[in-house]
Amino acid sequence: MILHPAPMLLSQLLTEAGISAFAGIEEITVGGIATDSRRVRSGDLFIAIDGLHTDARTHIPEAAAKGAVAVVCEAPLPASTAVDIPVIFVPNARVAMAYLYDALYGHPARGLRLVAVTGTNGKTSVATMLYTILTASKIPCGLIGTVGWRSTGGGELICGAEGMTTPDPRELYPLLARMAEDAPRDIRHPPTVVMEVTSHALLLGKVAPLQFDLGIFTNLSPEHMDLHGTMEDYYTAKRSLFEITRTAVVNADDRYGRRLLAEPLPIHHYHICHADDSCGGSILSDRMCPGGEGSCTRIYAEQVKHGGEDGVSFKLTSPDARLRLRCPVPGRFTVMNALEAAAAALALGADPGAVRDGLAHFGGVAGRMERVRLPATDIPFSVFIDFAHTPDALENLLRTVHDFRRRDQRIVLVFGCGGDRDPSKRKIMARIASRMADSLVITSDNSRSEDPADIISDILAGVDKESEFAVVPDRREAIRYAIRHARSGDIILLAGKGHETYEIDRTGKHPFCETEIALQAAKEYHPTHTG
């Protein structure tokens, strides 16, 4: 249950949010905030936020008629929409919304230690690993991210994986208030909340009122170009997080991570890399970290061992720690994810033994290299589900499987690309898939308002026509096709949807569980192995 705010004087609310108040509103009390005129309740403050194709000011009369006591908007009202309630003008209504929700809920983050994880890939895995380690270290910890929200009061699941990665302010600040309320009182460490912070959230000001104790930068590769336009703008959005962060854990194996390390930000950097990679070791760390502004600690992984499906192990080395760590999740990317989570945990005061135990018992993340437990142990193929939906993530996924497959095993990749999203990645992902998988099943993946056939056409433009592939537009049937035609030893990868339990097309959002579909297909097409 999310906490509800206590009524508050409008003048006090504006002052607390850093918005100039004015005479004549001293007696007005605000009971809540609304950004949708259809959901306004009597006593609400209505914030008029423009949509992509709508002027929110046209909805102000409806909000007033439903009992809104005041309005916040960006521009003067046209004469045709004049209302008899106070109108407060702000430069940016979205940013104002975040500050107003934060103020209405009593600035809940002030009682919490906040950790932000940002980057293109790996956010969910790193955030969940860190949450697991801190919990193992008896540090009260909450989690806000793609796969759900967990409370600081013992890990209760508040919400499953149906919302945004970084919630909108109307959910985020009540959620932080709940986290502060749930946290135990007699504790050695302050209650901590680990949250994934997207470039959308940063660009739209969702977290503008917050100060993060620690930020983690995972990596950056082309994604969300429909929003940002260029990689430079994408990087700039990500960089802005570290202007509101006291300490940073940065992946120096990533070129944008190395660029971030060179920025003149007055914070302490933890420079994370593989010892045998081209990040250059301590010499480069001295050059990359800003002289006179901040300081830098190098933490790296060495003696890395890949155990195939059994996971990875490595030695974490820093000026203050030497830890041999193991994580049961397979993949090259697991080493960096675990290294970032371990470095962050140590910076937050976690016990080294808890770091070791937390990673060793990490159960993985739903939809991240998640193995489908087929209905019989002797079914001669395996099925994995992964969220890989960017070129970089897809290549990392396929590299991971190449690391542990036998020579006689085929990689069968079922994938598509999302609609109403950056179309430039479709051809790139097809090239990667053609090069690294043995057989492709090209299908849909949240086509949204686009025609699936148009998306598939874009994908086919990048497919090597000499490769083995099939086109099955219906994703359910594509999964069934891959399992029906599975050969002994096949590794079937269902890429793109991961933890999602829905499919979005022109008609809306529909239930869609890849695990259930795969299990049913295995029973149907391989009955001799299921009893």
Enter the tokens of residue 97.
Answer: 């919304």
Q: Identify the CATH homologous superfamily for domain 8-103.
A: MurE/MurF, N-terminal domain (3.40.1390.10)
200-211 average pLDDT score: 95
- Spatial distance between the Cα atoms of 51 and 39, rounded to a whole number of angstroms: 16
Give pLDDT, residue 186.
64
Parse the chain into domains and list their residue ranges: 8-103, 107-300+332-357, 370-529
Q: How confident is the model at residue 154 (pLDDT cuts 50, 70, 90)?
A: confident
Give pLDDT, residue 278.
41
Q: Give yes or no for residue 323 having a pLDDT over 80.
A: yes
Give pLDDT, residue 309.
76
Phi, psi of 288 (to 5 degrees): -80, -35
Give pLDDT, residue 225.
59
Give pLDDT, residue 24.
85
Q: How confident is the model at residue 518 (pLDDT cuts 50, 70, 90)?
A: very high
- Identify the residue with better confidence: 461 or 374: 461
CATH number of 370-529: 3.90.190.20
- Spatial distance between the Cα atoms of 172 and 179, rounded to a whole number of angstroms: 10
Q: pLDDT (tens digit, 9 = 90+) per residue, 260-291? A: 999 988 888 888 888 754 443 333 344 445 44
**CA Rg, the chain, in Å?**
25
Q: pLDDT (tens digit, 9 = 90+) per residue, 106-132? A: 999 998 999 999 999 999 999 999 999
Whether domain 107-300+332-357 has CATH 3.30.70.100: the reply is: no
- Identify the residue with better confidence: 152 or 293: 152
Phi-psi domain of 293 (left: phi exceeds 0; alpha: psi -120 through 50; beta: other): alpha
Residues 279 and 252: beta-carbon distance below 8 Å: yes
Q: pLDDT (tens digit, 9 = 90+) per residue, 41-92? A: 999 999 999 876 778 889 999 999 999 999 999 988 877 777 899 999 999 9
DSSP code per residue over 456-525: HHHHHTTS-TTSEEEE--SHHHHHHHHHHT--TT-EEEEES-TT--EEEETTEEEE--HHHHHHHHHHHH
Helix (H, G, I), strand (E, B) or coil at 165: coil
Give pLDDT, residue 308.
79
Q: Give yes or no for residue 171 having a pLDDT over 60.
A: yes
Other CB atoms within a 10 A radius of the CB of residue 54 amount to: 10
Residues 45 and 32: beta-carbon distance below 8 Å: yes
Q: How confident is the model at residue 158 (pLDDT cuts 50, 70, 90)?
A: confident
Phi-psi domain of 446 (left: phi exceeds 0; alpha: psi -120 through 50; beta: other): left
- Spatial distance between the Cα atoms of 336 and 323, rounded to a whole number of angstroms: 15
pTM of the model: 0.86
DSSP tag of 410: P
Enter the tokens of residue 362.
Answer: 């990490």
- Spatial distance between the Cα atoms of 164 and 146, rounded to a whole number of angstroms: 7
- Identify the residue with better confidence: 320 or 178: 178
